[in-house]
């Protein structure tokens, strides 16, 4: 039988025991590690925003609405993992790590499938306020609430599948392979070190799922302005008959294009001119 940890230090282990005890994830040291992990992991989203190209960078308000949905979903997954890890007499740290790694692998695929399925339904029904990353202009809190609710439903779907996978008996054998004897070291590895690197990747990828699809409004405006600029200075050609009945290209630039009426008048004068016969010379003598 596993010995219980001392009050306020649920990570203590008895002789012959390995790993942390039940309740260690929610003692003072465990809560400190979780808070530190949350701050460090969320800072990766701030780094991601500054890494975005300037013409695609989201305003702070839009960025906060996007990332807060993910934060709420990740908090749901985290506390679900903590609760599930304490349901058995096995090492809760090992069970938490198994839950976490499954969320980061199989769970990531399930989240992607869920977001794609929900987005397809939203597009089919034309529910504009439920498009992930779009909150209206001006921003409507109701759109954020609806999208947040949809994302939580996706996370519930993901966690349900993971729990079904965890019912496979072999996972208990994996949890017993814990080689770490120091319970606080195991807790630090399980709750801070491993999740820091994995969460940084997960937050980065999931943020791409939840942000506005396609090009941002700023980029669209820039693209339209660029197209207008290019169209305004675009070089165009037209053909007109010359005096010698051969075709020559008349280059027209929009930068110095004449008014339509003036252009038509000049073209009319040009076409009405009579051809001038050139004198031919043979052996230097006019004929």
The model's pLDDT over 112-138, given as tens digits with 9 standing for 90+, comes to 999 999 999 999 988 888 888 888 888
DSSP element (H, E) containing 55 = none
Whether residue 213 contacts residue 132, with contact meaning beta carbons closer than 8 Å, is answered with yes
Give the residues across from 285 on adjacent strands: 282
For the stretch 35-64, pLDDT in tens is: 898 888 888 888 888 888 888 888 888 889
- Grade residue 221 by pLDDT with cuts at 50, 70 and 90: low
Tokens describing residue 83: 């609760």
First to last CA, the chain: 126
**Residue 100 CB neighbours (<10 A):** 23
CA angle 129–159–36, rounded 5-degree value: 85
Which of 47-61, 92-106, 180-194, 199-213 is predicted most confidently? 92-106
Query: E strands within 190-276?
Result: 235-241, 247-253
Q: Average pLDDT in the 258-282 region?
A: 56
**What radius of gyration, in Å, describes the C-alpha atoms of the chain?**
34
Q: Which residues contact 30 (CB under 8 A, 6 or more apart)?
A: 10, 11, 24, 187, 191
- Tell me what pLDDT residue 217 has: 47
pTM beyond 0.75: no
**Average pLDDT of the residues of the chain:** 74
Which of 84, 67, 152 shows the shortest CA–CA distance to 115? 152
195 CB-near residues (< 8 Å, 6+ apart): 37, 41, 100
């Amino acid at each position: 039988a596993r010995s219980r940890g001392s009050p306020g230090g649920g990570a203590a282990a008895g002789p012959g025991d390995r790993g942390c005890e039940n309740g260690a994830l929610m003692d003072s040291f465990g809560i400190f590690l979780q808070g530190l992990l949350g701050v460090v992991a969320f800072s990766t989203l701030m780094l991601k925003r500054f890494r975005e190209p300037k013409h695609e960078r989201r305003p702070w308000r839009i960025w906060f609405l996007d990332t807060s949905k993910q934060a709420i979903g990740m908090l749901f997954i985290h506390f679900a993992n903590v609760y599930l890890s304490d349901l058995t007499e096995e090492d809760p740290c090992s069970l938490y790590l198994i839950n976490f790694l499954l969320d980061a692998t199989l769970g990531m695929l399930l989240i992607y499938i869920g977001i794609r399925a929900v987005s397809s339904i939203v597009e089919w029904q034309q529910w504009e306020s439920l498009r992930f990353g779009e909150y209206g202009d001006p921003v409507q809190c109701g759109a954020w609430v609806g999208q947040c609710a949809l994302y939580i439903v996706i996370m519930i779907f993901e966690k349900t599948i993971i729990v079904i996978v965890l019912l496979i008996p072999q996972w208990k054998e994996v949890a017993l392979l814990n080689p770490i004897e120091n319970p606080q070291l195991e807790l630090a590895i399980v709750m801070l070190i491993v999740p820091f690197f994995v969460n940084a990747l997960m937050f980065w990828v999931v943020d791409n799922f939840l942000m506005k699809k396609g090009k941002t409004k700023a980029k669209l405006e820039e693209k339209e302005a660029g197209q207008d600029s290019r169209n305004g200075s675009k070089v165009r050609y037209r053909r007109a008959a010359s005096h010698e009945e051969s075709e020559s290209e008349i280059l027209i630039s929009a930068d110095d294009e004449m008014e339509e009426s003036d252009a038509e008048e000049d073209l009319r004068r040009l076409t009405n001119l009579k051809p001038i016969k050139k004198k031919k010379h043979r052996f230097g003598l006019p004929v």
